[in-house]
Every structure is written in structure tokens, then in C-alpha cells.
Structure 1
Amino acid sequence: MKAVIMAGGEGTRLRPLTCNRPKPMVPIINKPVMEHIIELLKKYNLTDIAVTLQYMPELIKDYFGNGSDFGVNIRYYVEQTPLGTAGSVKNAEDFLDDVFVVISGDALTDIDLKKAIDFHFQKGSIATIILKKVDVPLEYGVVVTDEESRISRFLEKPSWGEVFSDTVNTGIYILSPEILGYFNKNEMFDFSKDLFPILLKEKKPLYGFVTDDYWCDIGDLRAYSRVHMDILEKKVKVNIPGKEIEPGIWIDDGCEIEEGAKLEAPCVIGKNTKIKKTANIGSFSVIGHYNIIDERSGIKRSILWKNNLVEKNVQVRGSVICNKVHLRSNASTFENSVIGDDTIIMNNALIKPNIKIWPNKLIEEGAEVNSNLVWGSKFTRSIFGNRGVAGEINVDITPEYASKLGAAYGATFKGKAKIGVSCDDSTPAQMLKVSFISGLLSAGIEVFDFGKMLLPITRSAIRFYKNDGGIHISTSTEDVARLFVDFLDKNGSNVDRGTERKIENAFVREDFSRCEGDCIKEIKQIPDYSKFYLRNIINNVESSKMKYKIALNSRSGFILSTMNELLTGLGCEVEVVNVKLMNIKTMSKSMTSNDVKYFTSHIKMGKFDLGVSIEDTSEKMMLVDNKGRIITEDMFIALISLIFFKNVQGGTVVVPISASQVVDRIADECNGKVIRSKTSTQDIMEKILGSELKEEMLDQFTMHFDAMAGLVKILDFMQKNNYKLSELVDMIPNFYIDKKEVECPWEAKGKVIRHIMQENNGDSIETLEGVKIYKDGGWVLVLPDAEKPVCNVISESYSAEFAEELTSIYINKIREISRG
């Protein structure tokens, strides 16, 4: 058998480690990660090896040559342009005349390849994917197999809501050569995104072999440090260079350890390294070749590459030091810091935790480095949350941060776009709007400054001015220190997760170019769009003058004044009520609050036609009917679906997977159709608007995400058909939904979903997001949260008691599985 090592990886998330080398050449325990892979292949007599290259190919060729020094035969195949995982292997088609193994050159594993190969032949498989159970599966391809180990489903890089298993694709495959006939040479083609879905569709024998052996995708800097700890703790079987002079202490040839130097197990010291007296090499440290560690210096839980000079009394803690770094006396580096090649850190300089320093830098004497040089940023799991970016003003989101985030967003358009920017009327939002505009301008973007505006109006303005995207900045009236940033696409929808990832990648790597001074465009000021927008709503009302008496509540004065102007312009009598209601999503928790009781009884006693409370973003509203009944979020979805179907017979509504089945009953009565989406704002928006704007779908978008225009549409429908709001509510059949959240550690979420799916194999289940189980005429949805270590459990049944019972059953299951 032959093998293919995919070694084209650039390793952008590992920078600055990969600034001067491709990812397969990054050292693990003093030898390139790809050398460990070659040793593994050789162990199983896979000595004829094809290596696919793309980024810095000469460095790999120069190191490994024809493979003879490593006991193998190597042929190289270089991609001129990126071809994807399968496309790169296709280059070696002439070499691959029998079943072959494909393995990544930038992950570390000690997998028993013989077991996997035997499994492949026993199953008569055309393609076998090596699988591994992991705690947090978000960065991998998630895979589900049946009882025979045949693959039934997979999904690349899911969100938490999409995680349906904790079993992931390791990128190690055993393949029959016939699979290369499924695509053409020099065609961009990927194994997991393109080839495996075809094999699945054609019902070809595609199997998954689950290994318990060690495997680590060295995807980021934390994983890079962790893999060294795992080797030193003997969790993985690799050849550690040097001789084990004491248990857990490896010393390579030519080392000089002076008397009085202290070595703590486990640690590794590379060739020709000198450790002077009183120096201390702490446990879990790996020192590479040709280093000098001077007196009184301490290295703890750190990795040093080659040719570094560490002068007297230097303290290195939890850091990675690349090649030819000079740490002068009394310098210090702290946890998770990374120092790039050829950097000089002068006397008494201090590198704070989590700082990345790119190659060829000079850190001045006594400097405290608390921001990255010159590229890179604080590494976080992600910048975006459930929706947009949120954080503390001048703590998480500073003017510098906002400017860079604006430039990162601008970079996704490659400098050719018109972007609208707006904010609410708060001073912090106005300050940070200036920073976002600066970042966009620096990327060569043409900026439309919409000024102070509510988010739904910004969405409309982006469509009206045919912008390519937008940014809206707003604050919270509940927490004045908190800021929210919505990134919008050309339809005014929040950008999808793919675009969020692009912005995150550009931001984290600072991988974007600034335009030249003469290319910076002038800002276009758009002063009065809000007035045009309100007038447009009034002009589009089909009814004659409305005489509704409305109680209006919001914590935002900006929203109150805008809504008051709109409703009085329509002929309504408006009374502003200032009570602190919870937002629509937590209404169930606030039913006992005096404010809610006051608001509902005030509407009933004051003979109002309805009450409306509007959230800070002006997207969501909570309605109270003329009988004082609160229209909860679930009831509101049913209400707007009813109005839509009565307006458009045979139409289609989009509702989240968590919406009540009563919507389907309403649709059946009106010959309509229901499309279910995931629960995220982006997915609902994408399902409603898609790539092209349709008038009837724009109405739905308005009802979901524009409290101002949406309320007017409800009032217009009531007026035209002579309905009271309570009469519309009475038309909706009774339904009972129960919602709770249960603690669930991040690392247990995939396991929870997998267990629940396996347990309910015979029952009707749905995995659009989380897992939804249909039981006894009702359903229960288990949905991992994207931002917190919890799972949301939502149930619907024929009675409130049974819905609550269903929720309790699954809360107990989740606790049992996650603790087990």
C-alpha cells in the first residue's frame, strides 16, 4: 500500500509560528510534525509516500529530500493554485494504483493504521474515514454512523445548534483508487464537502472507523501547546529525540548541563543546548537545539525552538519562543505569549499574557507589551455571538478595536463596496460609529453615514440606497455600559455565519490591506432617511384614518419619540407608559412582576385597543390585547402567520424550528405552506429574504424584525377587516409550550446530542438544529446554546402539564449524560 501526506497547509491560525514556514514544518518535540507522520507510516510499512504541497514547498523538499534519510521513498506533487483536499490528491493519481491511505501532515496521531486498514477491507469499503470522539466538535466535520459503522450523515464545521454528534472526521482516509474517477484533474474538489456527499447520495459503501488512539488537529496556538503536554504525559506514542537519562527527562546529543542547573521532569533538552548553573528548566518544558539558557533564568511549561539566547534572570512562563530570539537580562514573558523568529527583547521588558509578536521585532528596554506586534490579535474562540458583536464599551469594544473590526469587514469586499453605517442616539454608540467608519474608509470602502437611526430603518436604508452592506451600533438601556454591533448584508439582513467567519479570520490575523491615501473616499452624509421611512409607512397604509387607543412602552426615549410620531401620524391616540418590562424572550419569567401586572391591567381598565412594549433594537414587540392578555413570543409568531395567510391565500411562512405546530394547523386551513428555519436571527432572515427580495417575503421580514412597520401592518389588517386584537388571538387554537435551560459543559454538548439521537432512533426525530423528537402528538427540542454552557429544552404538548413533564424528562437526561 501507498500513502499520501497532505502538506499544503499554510497554518494561518498558528501565526506567528507559521510566518516563515509551512504548517507541516512546525516543530513538535524538536522535529517537524510531518516527520512524526512519516515515522507513523513507516511503522506500518507504508514507505511509498506521495506528498502534496502548496505553501512554501521548497522548505519541505529541502528537509525531507527523497525520504531516504527517513527510511521511506517520497514523491512530491505541487499545486500551483489551491485545489482542495481531493484535488491535491488527484495530482498523484498516476502514483496511486491500489488502495491508499491519506493523512494530514499537520496533525499528530499514533493511530493503529493496521486496524483501520483491516476494517476497510472487511467492510468492502470504497472509502473509510477515521473518526474520533472529541469534546468540542465545532471546528471539525461531524459524522454519524449506523450500527454497521456505515456513514449516514455528516456536516462541516457546525454551529452548536447543528451539532448532532461528538464524533468527528480526523482527515485520515483509506481510499480505493476508483474514487479519483469522480472528479477531474486541476478541479477544485474537497473530500468532505464534495466527494463524500456524492458517495453518500449514490449509496456507495462509505464507512467510519472510530479510533480510541490519540489524535490532535494542531489548529491553533492552544492546541500546539497542549500537544506537547500530552506527549510529555505519555498520552501519545511518539519518538522523543534524545536519551531518557532519568524518568521523564530526555537529553539529546551534545548537551551541556552545568552543575547547579535544575531540570524538572518531564522535560526535553535538544541537541547542543547549554543550560548554565542556577538556571531552572521547569516541568513540561521543551528546549530545542542550540539554545543557551543563562544563570538564574527560569523556563516553565514553555517551548523554545532553535538557536535562542536567554540571558541572565529571564523568566519564561507558558510561552512559545520561535527561532533565533534574543531575550536580554531580566526580560519576562507570560502565559500564552508567542515570540516570532529573529526578535530581540531588551532588558527588563515584559511581554504580557496572550501577546503575539511577529518575526523581526525589537522590544525596547523596560517596555510592557500589552498589545500584539504588528499583526494578529487577542485570540478568542469567536468575535461574533448568537447575533453580531456584543461587549463592554471601552473594555471589550474600544475605538481601536472598532476601527480594526471595520477594516476587517471592509476587507471582505476587497475594497469595492458601499457600506451604510448608523447608530442609536447614545453618546458611546456615536463615538464608536466614527471608529467603525475610519476602519471602513482605510480599507477603501465608500461609506454612507446614516447618522442616528433605529436598526429596522437602517435595514430599509441599505436596500433603498443599494448598499452592499451595513453596520449598526446600539447600546442597552438596561446596561448602559454594554454595546451591540449588527453587521448587515445588501438586503439589510444580519450577515450569515460564513461572512462572520471571514470577518473573524481577517480580524484575528489582521490580514487586510489599507488603501493608499489618494484612494480614501469621501463620506456620504444621509441626513433625513428616518422621516422618509416613517412617511413611507403612513403612505402604504390601505385603511382610512385609524382611531386606535394605544398604550406605548419602551425604555428608549429615541424609540418612544419615533413611534409616537408614527402612530399619531396615522390618527391613533397614544399614551406613553414608562414601565420596566422584560424583553419578549424572557416574558415567562416576568409574569409576576408588578410592572407587567400594571401594564396589562392599565390597558384593560383604560379601555385601550392594545398595548405595545418595544425592545431596545426596535425589532421585537410585546403586544397586550384589549382584554389585557400578553401575546408571548410563540403566540406572536402564530398571530403574524394568521394575518399573513389571511392576506395571501396559499402563501408561505417561515418560522423557527421552535415555533408551535399550531402554525401548521393555521397553514392547512388557508392552503398555505410552512418552512422551518434554525432559531438564529441570521437563519430566519436568510430563509425569509434569501438572495432576492420578494414583496410578500419583505412583509414577513417586517413583521418579524421591524416593530414600527410591523405594528402598523397589524393595525391596518385589524382596521380593514374590522377585528379587535382579542378576536384575532381567539382565532388561534390553544397550544402549550414549555421552555427551560439546563447546565451542560461545552465539552459534553456533542455527546448529549449523540446519546439522545441514538436513544430515539426508532422515533421520529429531526436534526435541522439540535435534535427535535416527536412524541405522543407533541415534541421536545434539545438545543445547545452558542454562547453559554447550557442546553435549551423546548417542549410542546396538548396540555401545559404534559409539556412541562416532557421538558423535565429531557433536562434530567441531559444532566445524566453530561455528568456521566
Structure 2
Amino acid sequence: MKSVIMAGGEGTRLRPLTCNIPKPMVPVVNKPVMEHIIELLRKYNLTDIAVTLQYLPNIIKNYFSDGREFDVNLRYYVEDKPMGTAGSVKNAEDFLDDTFVVISGDALTDIDLKKAIDFHFSKKSMATLVLKKVEIPLEYGVVVTDEDGRITRFLEKPSWGEVFSDTVNTGIYILSPEVLKYYNKNEIFDFSKDLFPLLLRQDKPMYGYISDDYWCDIGDLKAYSQAHQDILEKRVKVSIPGKEIEDGVWVGENCIIDDGASIEGPCIIGTNTKVKKGAVIGKFSVLGENNIIGERSGIKRSILWRNTILENNVQLRGTVICDKVKLKQNVSCFENSVVGDSTIIKENAIVKPNIKIWPDKIVEEGTEVSSNLVWGSKFIRSIFGFRGMAGEINVDITPEYASKLGAAYGSLFKGKGKIAVGSDESNPAKMLKISFIAGLISAGLKVLDFEVLHLPVMRSAVRFYGVDGGIHISTSSKNIGKLKIDFIDKNGSNIDRNTERKIETMFQREDFSRCEGRSIKEVEVIPDYTKFYIRNIINNVKSEKLDFKIALNSPSESILKCVTDLLTSLGCSIEKVNIDIGYGNKEVNSKNREYFAKMVSMGDFDLGVSIEETSEKMMLVDNRGRIVTDDMFTALISLIMFRTVEGGTVVVPVSTSHVIEQLADANNGKVIRTKTSHQDLMNKILTIDVKEQVYDQFILNFDAIAGIVKILDFMKINNYSLSDLVEMIPDIHIYEKEVECSWNDKGKVIRQIIQENESESIETLEGVKIFKDGGWVLVLPDAEQPVCRIKSESFSAEFAEELTNTFVNKVREISKS
């Protein structure tokens, strides 16, 4: 006789176990479940086997090859699309020239196939179904037989109200080749839904053989774990790899079990696995090949696949760990949790019960994972990055994610308050805005929907309407799938880090309340706030007319139109251009900037301005074609502030040129240094004592639309050209470079640099800033990437570059040590 193994299953209910492998390849006691089926067939001399494949077929082919290594002969039949159980077997019709057995490649069983086959022939049956009595038959096909074993009724996956038997179809059949003539090739056809009911209607001889042997459909994660327990308790007869060194303890070749490690059976320890001293392998644990179990780690009722590393004091309780997972010190995973392939869970993280983590994820240090991690590359303690949050639409940030995050943010206000919400004109941003609104109103808040507006306009709206906070969603014009979300406080600033942490805690613990249905408030739509914002800018201009000729660049058509209309109404002559100066290839961007600068100087423009797509930042080019760099721009607006308010105060990041202090000295001003993040700079500006300066300085830093008008107005009032202002700024010699530095090395790098430079003047406001040789160097670990940024300033460009390169090499040296 021949046989067919149906091995096309995708195993969606077993995910994340089946994200990277087909269901028949899921390991059960350290060998694929399909290998147990092949061993069962071989036991009954059924060695000529057809294998039907569909999902990830090459993984099965590569493992089993032609079957010779397993003492069987395998032929493969691959479907391009699912054809149903009977449809897949039809592909092997030419091979199946006599009575044959069909069996699933993803069930665990030791059913006596000889008894079933003998029963089939004794009844002269056309189709015999192997049946099994189960307590809960809802997930199976229910079958009723008469006293002679002839099948009289079928029902696939009944509800409790439809259950008429506890005898179910195991998916194991003995069939006459004649049944294959009842349907056509390339026809989607199922045994239990189509073929068997057809044979029943035609009164063909069809019987059910009820077996008392073990059978388990490994359909979900609970069944997967139960199958292992059943094997270890010897309820099912299968071959377990390794040597049974004592009752119920199987150990593979080349295992190293240190003195002081505790092993309690029944359990399995796979080949080449190392168990270190103080580790405890408890009952019903199954460890695959090439695993390392660290000191004091404890494993109970858990399943580890292959090539996994558990560092010291990792605790697993009833969990499944897939291939190539790394669990760092003090990680804990609890009942019914699953960790997918190639995931890294960092120190002190906790995976709560019933949590599933999909493959290739990173769980950051100290994180408590309380919801499934499916999308995105990370589950991190910090949802927020250097500035707000960013991610891929429908990958990192889904509508469900946004709604939940909106509810977490809304929970800060304890059911009372108003929140403003707005977005740019892109469809992804509008979609996510709806999700955020749903989350906010579910927390009992009143939501003001400002529809489409730019981020600085949103900040103005938050202040003007006196709301308690806001959310703005925007996308990149170069990559509309990339999303940026800004959470705003009542002052229009990005929320501070403390507020971010509160949101993160509520979000990850799902520790937020939902209001009663009757407390849901209507969303108030406020259209066209941008018109009021523009009118307010015009009303605050002190000059009668701003008659400048300006080259205006932006990647955003809406910004080009808005700023052109504004400046034209104030008397300016505008020429619009669209040159990419801020994205993609740095070399191309540099050439484009030079082209823009040359265009300004040769076109007899008073200045050029390029406004980024969020409309927060601008780049200026003076009438002589000189590009105003970031450090020069900070110096420029500081100069304007000092000249506008005598003895005024400016706030600048720690990474900015110390030319600012020279300008302050010359104008009787004061400088406050702050951290480099947007939110730190914003919050520090909004808390300086000289209140009349607050919003002017805020606008010049974070509102390019209103900011360019303020700069033009200052130039007009004082009869300055932009080149005049640039000339007032002392020479700036700064050199900046980025160097790779892993997350784990950042702390070590900063500590060692501080220790090596104790004799120098040092600041540690952010990173470490060392003052030496009349200049300074800042070593700043990046908040979002595994790099450090090295920035130096000195009396010459050459010395600044040399100083930066010295510390780049120092960071590399410390990282490698």
C-alpha cells in the first residue's frame, strides 16, 4: 500500500510558531511533527509516500529530501494555491494506483494503522475514516456510525447546539483509488466537506473505524504544549531523540550539565545543550539542540527550540521559546507566552501570561510586555524617541495602536479636559487621526478636530483655544508610509519626558480607564484655523511693507502656496522652486543646496529660504549666496533677540557654537544652555523669565512660516540685508561626525571618557562636553540609533576636525575593548 501525507498546512492558529516554518515542521520533542508521522507509516511498512505541499514547501523538501535518510520513499506534489484536502491528493492520482492511506502531517498519533486497514478491507469499504471519541468536538468534524460501523451522518465543526456525537474525524483515511474519480483535477475539493457527503448521498460503502489509541490535532498553542506533556507522561508511543539516562529524563549527545544544576524528570535536554551551575530544569520541560541555560535560570513546563541563549537568572514558566532567541539577565516569561524566532529580550524584561511575540523583535530593558507584539521591530520601554514618535504606517503604528495610545494619553486627564487633534493633508495621517480621536473620546475627553493644518499652526491653535493638549500627525513627502506624531502640551510645546513616561506606562500596562457610554462627547470640528493664524501674523508685522525679492523652496506644495500667499500679501516678490535639499543622498543634497545658493546670488534675490515639510525649520541663503548653517541660524536668531530686547535671554542647545556667548556679551544678553531634544529646548524657552520674549523666540525656533516674517520685519525696521546680519556673526569653526556605538557600549563610552578627562573642564548636561585648547568637544550618544555623535568647535576648521576625529577613534577604541 501507498500513503499520502497532507503537509500543506499554514498553521495560522499556531502563530508565531509557524511564522517562519510550515505547520508540519513544528518540532515536537525536538523533531518535526511530520517526522513522527513518517515513523508511524514506516512502522506499518507504508514506505511509498506522496507528500502534498503548499505553504513554504521548500523547508519540508530540504529537510526530508527523498526520504532515504528516514527509510522511506518520498514524492512531493506542490500546489500553487490551496485546493482543499481532496484537491491536493488528486494531484498525486497517477501515483495512487491501489488502496492508500491519507494522514495529516501535523497531528500527533500512535494509532494502529494495521487494525484500521484490516477493518477497511473486511467491510469492503470505499472510504474508511479513522475516528476518535473526544470530550469537546467543536473544532472537528462530527461523525455518526451505525452498529456495523457504516457512516450515517456528518457535520463539520458544529456549534454546541449542533453536536450530535462525540466521535470525530481524525483526518486519517483509508481510501480506494476509485474515490478520486468523483471530482476533477484543479478543482477545489475537500474530503470532509465535499467528497464524503457526496459518497454518503450516493450510498457508497463508507465506514468509520473508532480507535482508542492516542491522537492529538496540534491545532493551537494549548494543544502543542499538551502534546509534549502527553509524550513525557508516556501516553503516546513516539520515538524521543536522546538517551533516557534515568526514568523520564532524556539527554542528547554532547550535552554539558554542570555540577550544581538541577534536573527533574520528566524532561528532555537536546544535543549540544549546556546547562550551567545553579540552573533548574523542571518537570515537563523540553530543551532542543544547541541551547545555553545560564546560571540560576529556572525552566518549568516550558519548550525551547534550538540555538537559544538564556543568560543568568532567566525564569520560564509554561512558555514556548522558538529558534535563535536571546533572553538576557533576569528576564521572566510566564504561562502560555510564546517568543518567536530571532527575538532579543533585554535585561529585567517581563513577558506576561498569554502574550505572543512575533519573530525578529527587540524587547528593551525593563519592559513589561502586556500585549501581543505582532507588528514593528521593537517592543520598547520608550514609545517616544528624540522628538515625539515615528514609525511605518500599518507596521509600527496601526489604527488599533493609535486608538490605544490616544486612550493612554487621554487617561492623564482623568476624564476631564479638551484635546486638539490635527494632521497634514495625507490620507494615512487623516486615517490615524480618526483612530486617535476614538481613543481620546473613549477616555471621556472633549476633542477639537482642527482637520488639516501644519504643526506650528497646530501649536498656535492649542494656545489660542486654551485646550489641555494636542496631537498632530504628519507624513513624509518622500515616504508617505513614514509617520510622525507630536504630542503637545497646553503651551504648544512637545510634552516633556516625564509626561511621555506616564503615557508609556499606561499604554504598556493597558492601565487606562474607559468612560461610560453616556459620557462620550461629540467631536467639535474647527475648520480653517490656518486663515486666522495667517491673519494674526500679518497683524503683528510692524513694517508698512516687506518689499523683498525671495526665492522660496519647500518639498510641500501646501507650504509653498501658504507662504507665497502670505509674503505676497506683505509686499514681497516670490519665486517658487522645489529642490530636494534635505532627504536621501547627502552628496546629492549638498549639491542641491549649492545650486539653490547659486540661484539666489545670481538671481539678484534679497534672500532664499527653504522650509522643511513640517514647516518648523528653515534654511536661509543670504543675498551673496552664503548658506546659513544650523549653528549660524541659531546665532542669527539669537542676535535678533538680543537686538530686539536689550539684556534679553536666549535658550540654545548644549551642542550649539559658543559664538552665542560672544553675541550675548556684546549685547548685554544672557545665554541658557539646555539639552538637544526639541522638547527640552521648547520647555526651557517657555519658562524663561522675560515673558515678552517667549513666543518670539519659540516662533523663530519652531515656526518657519511666522519666523521668516519676523526675520524680514526685523531686517526692514533696521534697514539690514541678510548678509549684513551674517557679517555680524563671528566665524564659526565646527566639525561633526557620527560613529557606530552599540546600545550596550554607550554607558561605558561616556564613563571612560569622563574618567580619562578628569583634569579638563567637563559638562555632563547631556553626553559629555570637554573644554580644551580654547575649544570644546561633545560626545553625545544618540537617543534612537546605535551611534554616538561627536561635535567639536575650535579656533580653526582644521583643529575642530582633528579634535572630532580624535574622539571618534576614542569611541571606537572603547567600544571594541
TM range, smaller chain: 0.5 to 0.7
Please state how far the C-alpha of 1:705 moved relative to its aligned partner: 0.4
Structural mapping, 1:780-819, within 5 Å = 780-819=777-816
Partner of 2:657: 660
Alignment partner of 1:275 out of 266, 269, 289? 266
Residues 639-675 of structure 1: per-residue CA shift (max 9 Å, x gap): 1111111110011011111222221111112111111
Please state how far the C-alpha of 1:399 moved relative to its aligned partner: 1.3
Partner of 1:690: 687
Counterparts of 2:661 and 2:265 in 1: how far apart (Å)?
Answer: 75
Alpha-carbon contact 1:590-1:596 (below 8 Å) kept: no
Asked whether 1:726 is paired with 2:718, we answer no
Asked whether 1:518 is paired with 2:518, we answer yes
Q: Which has the higher contact order (CA 8 A, sep 6+)?
A: 1
Alpha-carbon contact 2:370-2:509 (below 8 Å) kept: no
Partner of 2:499: 499
Alignment partner of 1:674 out of 666, 671, 674? 671
Structural mapping, 1:1-150, within 5 Å = none
Partner of 2:247: 257
Please state how far the C-alpha of 1:442 moved relative to its aligned partner: 2.0
Please state how far the C-alpha of 1:352 moved relative to its aligned partner: 7.2
Partner of 1:291: 283
Structure 1 residues 308 and 565: alpha-carbon distance in aligned structure 2, compared to 1, 3 A threshold = same
SS in 2 for 1:735: coil
Partner of 1:399: 399
Partner of 2:737: 740
- Report the residue type matching 2:383 in the other structure: I
- Report the residue type matching 1:431 in the other structure: M
Partner of 1:384: 384
Partner of 1:174: none
Please state how far the C-alpha of 1:758 moved relative to its aligned partner: 2.7
Alignment partner of 2:621 out of 621, 624, 646? 624
SS in 1 for 2:444: coil
Structure 1 residues 571 and 502: alpha-carbon distance in aligned structure 2, compared to 1, 3 A threshold = same
Asked whether 1:475 is paired with 2:465, we answer no
> Which shifted more, 515-524 or 755-764?
755-764
SS in 2 for 1:622: strand
Counterparts of 2:451 and 2:730 in 1: how far apart (Å)?
Answer: 44
SS in 1 for 2:379: coil
Residues 739-781 of structure 1: per-residue CA shift (max 9 Å, x gap): 1122223333223223332333222222222222222322222
Partner of 1:552: 552
Counterparts of 1:601 and 1:450 in 2: how far apart (Å)?
Answer: 39
- Report the residue type matching 1:705 in the other structure: F
SS in 2 for 1:274: coil
- Report the residue type matching 2:256 in the other structure: A
Structure 1 residues 326 and 637: alpha-carbon distance in aligned structure 2, compared to 1, 3 A threshold = closer
Structure 1 residues 382 and 276: alpha-carbon distance in aligned structure 2, compared to 1, 3 A threshold = closer
Structure 1 residues 414 and 538: alpha-carbon distance in aligned structure 2, compared to 1, 3 A threshold = same
Structural mapping, 1:145-544, within 5 Å = 257-258=247-248, 260-262=250-252, 264-266=255-257, 273-275=264-266, 282-284=273-275, 291-292=283-284, 325=318, 335=325, 358-359=352-353, 375=371, 379-544=379-544
Counterparts of 2:319 and 2:653 in 1: how far apart (Å)?
Answer: 57
SS in 1 for 2:422: strand
Counterparts of 2:496 and 2:533 in 1: how far apart (Å)?
Answer: 26
Counterparts of 1:410 and 1:693 in 2: how far apart (Å)?
Answer: 32
- Report the residue type matching 2:570 in the other structure: L
Alignment partner of 2:642 out of 642, 645, 660? 645
Alpha-carbon contact 2:392-2:482 (below 8 Å) kept: yes
Structure 1 residues 694 and 268: alpha-carbon distance in aligned structure 2, compared to 1, 3 A threshold = farther
- Report the residue type matching 1:797 in the other structure: S
Alpha-carbon contact 2:263-2:280 (below 8 Å) kept: no
Structure 1 residues 662 and 362: alpha-carbon distance in aligned structure 2, compared to 1, 3 A threshold = closer
Partner of 1:207: none
Alpha-carbon contact 2:355-2:372 (below 8 Å) kept: no
Please state how far the C-alpha of 1:552 moved relative to its aligned partner: 0.6
Structure 1 residues 279 and 623: alpha-carbon distance in aligned structure 2, compared to 1, 3 A threshold = closer
Structure 1 residues 261 and 581: alpha-carbon distance in aligned structure 2, compared to 1, 3 A threshold = closer
Structure 1 residues 307 and 553: alpha-carbon distance in aligned structure 2, compared to 1, 3 A threshold = closer
- Report the residue type matching 1:283 in the other structure: K
* Long gaps (5+) in structure 1: 1-254
- Report the residue type matching 1:704 in the other structure: N
Alpha-carbon contact 1:269-1:289 (below 8 Å) kept: no
Alignment partner of 1:753 out of 744, 750, 771? 750
Counterparts of 1:740 and 1:466 in 2: how far apart (Å)?
Answer: 42
Counterparts of 1:537 and 1:551 in 2: how far apart (Å)?
Answer: 20
Structure 1 residues 736 and 280: alpha-carbon distance in aligned structure 2, compared to 1, 3 A threshold = closer
Counterparts of 1:500 and 1:770 in 2: how far apart (Å)?
Answer: 21
Counterparts of 1:362 and 1:790 in 2: how far apart (Å)?
Answer: 32
Please state how far the C-alpha of 1:457 moved relative to its aligned partner: 0.6
Counterparts of 2:325 and 2:727 in 1: how far apart (Å)?
Answer: 61
Alpha-carbon contact 2:423-2:429 (below 8 Å) kept: yes
Partner of 2:48: none
Counterparts of 2:355 and 2:680 in 1: how far apart (Å)?
Answer: 47
Alpha-carbon contact 2:660-2:671 (below 8 Å) kept: yes
> Which shifted more, 792-801 or 806-815?
806-815
Counterparts of 1:538 and 1:526 in 2: how far apart (Å)?
Answer: 21
Alpha-carbon contact 2:418-2:447 (below 8 Å) kept: yes
Structure 1 residues 592 and 621: alpha-carbon distance in aligned structure 2, compared to 1, 3 A threshold = closer
Please state how far the C-alpha of 1:306 moved relative to its aligned partner: 9.7
Please state how far the C-alpha of 1:690 moved relative to its aligned partner: 2.5
Report the count of equivalent residues. Answer: 549
Partner of 2:575: 575
Residues 262-289 of structure 1: per-residue CA shift (max 9 Å, x gap): 4833479998943268988943499868
Counterparts of 1:533 and 1:466 in 2: how far apart (Å)?
Answer: 15
Please state how far the C-alpha of 1:579 moved relative to its aligned partner: 0.9
Structure 1 residues 628 and 362: alpha-carbon distance in aligned structure 2, compared to 1, 3 A threshold = closer
Alpha-carbon contact 2:273-2:288 (below 8 Å) kept: no
Residues 608-645 of structure 1: per-residue CA shift (max 9 Å, x gap): 11110011211110001111111111111111111111
- Report the residue type matching 1:789 in the other structure: P
Structure 1 residues 469 and 314: alpha-carbon distance in aligned structure 2, compared to 1, 3 A threshold = same
Residues 208-246 of structure 1: per-residue CA shift (max 9 Å, x gap): xxxxxxxxxxxxxxxxxxxxxxxxxxxxxxxxxxxxxxx
Structural mapping, 1:556-635, within 5 Å = 556-582=556-582, 593-635=590-632
Structure 1 residues 672 and 485: alpha-carbon distance in aligned structure 2, compared to 1, 3 A threshold = same
Counterparts of 1:298 and 1:797 in 2: how far apart (Å)?
Answer: 57
- Report the residue type matching 1:291 in the other structure: K
Counterparts of 1:414 and 1:507 in 2: how far apart (Å)?
Answer: 15
Partner of 2:213: none
- Report the residue type matching 1:258 in the other structure: G
Structure 1 residues 776 and 374: alpha-carbon distance in aligned structure 2, compared to 1, 3 A threshold = closer
* Long gaps (5+) in structure 2: 1-244
Alpha-carbon contact 2:792-2:801 (below 8 Å) kept: yes
